[in-house]
Amino acid sequence: MMPLDPNKLPIHLAVIMDGNGRWAQQRMLKRIVGHQRGAETVKMVVEQSSLLGIKYLTLFAFSSENWSRPVLEIRGLMTLLKKYIRQETARMMRKNIRYNVIGNRSDLPDDVNETLDEAIRKTSGNTGMVLTLALSYGGRQELSRAAAKLAKDAIEGKISYEDIDVNIFGSYLDTGGLPDPDFLIRTSGEMRISNFLLWQLAYTELYFTETNWPDFTINELHKALADFQSRERRFGLTSDQINKRGDLSNA
């Protein structure tokens, strides 16, 4: 395996974990088996990211649009999510990882919210990696919720409309306080964003692999990160400017 440069890793890695259903269906298995196997890949990516010193890992686990899937699949996913969080919280404590959730939590079942609250509370003092789960998450939904909150604060005089800029707007998003992702990986060969982090991905480096999420390995993660390290992030500047100013990705 190519050694990675520890000084050129993404500070924030985001992942669209896709292809669980197809992985299962190709093997004549139920889709939920694919989700169960996908949970094993989650454990690996969380562990590796934390070992590598990545500060923020954000995983797209359930979208606003996924609520339209068959009820049985949704139920299976919610049960799996609760089981995963309960099982993994002790490991998160040992690895100093803090849980965070983005998305419309009011649509999640009460028992899922209780499990999430407990995990967030228990890990709230951890100072290592921040593991953000995007649950019942949609970028457009997040943006419109932020706009509504801004409008409310403006009407109540907490903020002046003239002060609204990129930074203030960003702070009203679910991700307020998190840096934008530097690198996005999507598995399963689909080359789309599917309503994930629409605002935050403005300058993110994108990486797509054909591999379905349950088959995504440590080697593939390293390959993806090595690809990230080979890119020149210009943020609208010229290559000459970047080379004079040093690497902006670590600015």
Q: Is 243 a catalytic residue?
A: no
Of the candidates 7, 18, 126, 243, the residue annotated as catalytic is: 18
Q: How far is the CB of 135 from ligand IPE (least distance, A)?
A: 9
Of the candidates 5, 7, 66, 107, the residue annotated as catalytic is: 66
Per-residue mark of binding to ligand IPE, 180-199 (x: CB under 6 A): --------x-x-x-x-----
Q: How many residues bind ligand IPE (CB under 6 A)?
A: 18
Which residues of the shown chain bind Mg ion in the complex (CB under 5 A)? Answer: 18
Is residue 207 within 8 Å of residue 227, measured between CB atoms? Answer: yes
Q: How far is the CB of 193 from ligand IPE (least distance, A)?
A: 8
Q: How far is the CB of 154 from Mg ion (least distance, A)?
A: 38
Does 45 participate in binding ligand IPE (rule CB under 6 A)?
no
Radius of gyration (Cα) for the chain, nearest Å? 19
Identity of the residue, 62 or 228, whose beta carbon is nearer to ligand IPE in the bound complex: 62
Per-residue mark of binding to ligand IPE, 210-249 (x: CB under 6 A): ----------------------------------------
| Cα–Cα dist 144/169, whole Å | 11
Q: How far is the CB of 41 from ligand IPE (least distance, A)?
A: 11
Q: Which of residues 75-94 bind ligand IPE (CB under 6 A)?
A: 77
Q: How far is the CB of 210 from ligand IPE (least distance, A)?
A: 12
What is the three-state SS of the chain?
Answer: CCCCCHHHCCCEEEEECCCHHHHHHHCCCCHHHHHHHHHHHHHHHHHHHHHHCCCEEEEEEEEHHHHHCCHHHHHHHHHHHHHHHHHHHHHHHHCCCEEEEECCHHHCCHHHHHHHHHHHHHCCCCCCCEEEEEEEECHHHHHHHHHHHHHHHHHCCCCCHHHCCHHHHHHCCCCCCCCCCCEEEECCCCCCCCCCCCCCCCCCEEEECCCCHHHCCHHHHHHHHHHHHCCCCCCCCCHHHHHHHCCHHHC
Does 142 participate in binding ligand IPE (rule CB under 6 A)?
no
Q: Is 182 a catalytic residue?
A: no
Does 18 participate in binding ligand IPE (rule CB under 6 A)?
yes
Which stretches of the chain bind ligand IPE, using CB under 6 A? 16-22, 60-63, 65-66, 77, 188, 190, 192, 194
Residue positions annotated with a catalytic role: 18, 66
